[in-house]
Structure 1
Amino acid sequence: MNKLIEIQHLCVGYENKPNVLKNVNLTVYDDDFLGIIGPNGGGKTTLVKAILGLIKPTEGTITFFEDGEKINSLNIGYLPQVNQIDKKFPITVFDVILSGLTPKGKIFKRYSSEDKQKVRYVAEQMGVEDLLSRSIGELSGGQLQRVLLGRAIADNPKLIILDEPNAYVDKRFETNFYRLLGDINKKMAIILVSHDIGTIISMVKNIACVNGDLHYHAGTEISPEWLQKAYDSCPIEILGHGSLPHRVLLQHNHERQSNPDSESDL
């Protein structure tokens, strides 16, 4: 099992909040399906931005690997939070998936017939082959999710990062979507970021809880004690319902006041 990413002593912050992440250590492997959980405002999206190179750490290192050797960068696919998508932008499903094949650092590219065939192949994988000529503004949340996931995997990345993907899901497609992720994980590593502990536990191989620092748990047989420690002052219970357990936050007082959109700022 080879390393893809090694994060050591990572600290990240912003001008108005200098200590969003403190002394984070994490290793992501080439066959990993890592779930990242944590309260809103705890720094999950900040960690993702640091991995993607969108924000510079104040301390620590992020090292990428391929076949056991250090490399300068890693091919990473990314499915952002739904509130970062402008559905009014005039672009078709075909062109959205095609944009996933644009080489990093290049604005323009002449696409080949092989590229266009790859788009159709990916669209078929995602179940959106009949939507290729539609504008993204005409899509349901679940359809848009599949299209953006298609864009994320079109270039055969080593890793895909999914930031709160359940925000897109229409319930009719939810089970199929998570089954699809299981198939994708046979070909590439996945990091799935979510505040929904139940979804994470039902899908992933390993868990990291981010709440300023990071608590790592190999495997998904986690105890309430570990969760309570990882979430600090947020006591949690897990209830199982079929294949998708759900998390319950018990009554508690918490100094950090946040809203459902606050994570996008961190």
Structure 2
Amino acid sequence: MPTIIDASQFDKNLNSFAHQGPTEVGRICYFISSNQLYKLTEINLIDPGDEIDTCVTIHLVNHQSGDDDVMALRVDELYDDGNTESSIIITLLRESNETLNRLVGRIALRKYSLLNYANEYESAPQVAAVKVEREYQQRGIITASYLSLLNWYDYLVSDDYQTVSGAKIWANSLSVRADVQIYDGANECFCGILGPSAIGNDGFKPWCSEPLTNLHSWAPNLLQDQPQKFIVLVLSREFSPEVGYAKPFLRIGP
């Protein structure tokens, strides 16, 4: 089950990229969060040295120091005119200079095998690590990123170890926007939907914590007293809102 760890145990340098081998740029998606435009880029790692095989970069589009308010006002104006998120994004892209994009976060993914609703095994991306620059935290970027990734993937699986803030993204932010499903990897089945206080609709509590972890900000969410292996949280495209705008993807070569 997802285990909450102290934030001091998780620290990644955003400017450092562990994989030094060749990569292939894949799909691109844009989304709006806190009235700013962000870009997700899928980077496939060729011959990765470990289980992480995909990195998703998060860029703030058209970043110019002091101009966040200008973008926010433009987004408000377009929403007030009745535009959809996708049409707003297309308009903003026409007006933006992407050479000014700023890297603000990364999501590392590995493969996870689950038995889907069609009773077929499917390889789904599982979150392995996440990092957002401190000044861009608490802006809903990761929540919107996870939902936007469903433009590419049928499922997104939670990481096995999370900080309190990372766990709260699934327990609080995502669960009010989508059906966050509880998946039992040992029995290969979906076994509930996450509800208030981080409890499944059948009363199951999917999170546990390591000893001495500072859990002050986890309340009023609850934890499992007896840790159970192979429990993860899952987002599915079928039970999540449509978020963001995915650029048409044309793969070149075989």
Question: TM-score under structure 1 normalisation?
Answer: 0.30
The structure with more strand, counted as a fraction of residues = 2
The structure with more helix, counted as a fraction of residues = 1
